[in-house]
Structure 1
C-alpha cells in the first residue's frame, strides 16, 4: 500500500468527523438566529434552508455511496446500516417539519422546538454512527468523491 492510498483510507474517517462537526456548527448558527428573537426573515430562512439542505445531502450521500460500500466489505454491519438509514428517514421527517414551519413563518418558539428536536436526534445519530463506523472507515476501500459520499459541505 502506498502512502497516498493509506492517506485516502484514513481520510474517510477524518472526513466523516469533519462533516459532522460542520453540521453541528450549522445547526448552532441556525439555533442562534432563532434565539435572537428576530422575526423570521431572509437570514433565518437562509440559515434554515442551508442547514436542511446540508444535512439532507449528507444523509443522501451516505445512503447512496457510503453504506453500500461498507455493506459490501462488512456484511456483518448490515443491521447497523439499516438502523442508520432509519435515522436518516426520521431526521428527514423532522427537517420537513422545520421547513414547513419556516414556510408558514412560525414564531421563534416553534422554530426553536423544531431545532431542539432535530439537534437531539442528530447528535444521537452522529455519535452512534461514529462509534459504529469510524474504525471501519479507516480501512474502507472506496474510490469516490467525498462530496458525493458525504454531501456538498
Structure 2
C-alpha cells in the first residue's frame, strides 16, 4: 500500500467528522436566523435559503452514506449490518423531519414553529451523528474505499 492510499484510507474517519462539523455549523446558522427574527422580506428570503441549503446538505450526506459508504462498510464488516440498518432508519426519520421543516419554511410558518422543527431535527441529528461516529470511526480508519468524498459523504 502506498502512502497516498494509506492517507486516503485514514482520511475517511476525518472526512466523516469534518462533514458532521459542517452540517452542525449549517444548522446553527439556520437556527440563528430564526432566533434573529424574520420580520422583513429579505430576512425571510435568507431564512428560506439557509433552511433549504441545510436540508439539501443533510439529505445529500445521508444519501451518499446509504449509496456508497454503508455498502462498503457492510462488505468489509458484515457484523455491522444491524448498526448500518439502524443508521439508515435514522436517515429516513431525519428526511421526514426535514420535509416538515421545508414545508413550514415554504408556507412562512412563524419563528416559534420553525424553531420547533429545527429543534427536532437537531436532537435526532446530533444523536445520530454521535452514534455513527462511535460505531464507525474505527472501521473507517481501515476502510478501503476509493471514491470521491462528495460521492460518499455528500456535497459538503
TM-score normalised by L of structure 1: 0.99
Shift of 1:5: 1.0
CA RMSD in angstroms comes to 0.7
Structure 1 residue aligned with 2:31: 31
Alpha-carbon distance, 1:69 to partner:
0.3
Match of 2:6 in 1: 6
Q: Structure 1: which 5+ residue stretches go unaligned?
A: none
Trace 1:107-118 onto structure 2 (pairs within 5 A).
Answer: 107-118=110-121
Deviation at 1:3, TM superposition (A): 1.1
- What is the distance in 1 between the residues matched to 2:38 and 2:83? 41
Q: Partners in 1 of 2:85 and 2:68 — Cα distance?
A: 14
Number of residue-to-residue matches in the alignment: 153
2:122 aligned residue: 119
TM-score by length of 2: 0.97
Correspondences of 1:3-152 after superposition (within 5 Å): 3-39=3-39, 41-152=44-155
User: In structure 1, what is the Cα distance between the partners aligned to 2:125 and 2:51?
Assistant: 15
Secondary structure (helix, strand or coil) at the match of 1:29 reads helix
Distance across 2 between alignment mates of 1:52 and 1:82? 22
Q: Could you list the structure 1 runs, at least 4 aligned residues long, displaced by more than 6 angstroms after superposition.
A: none
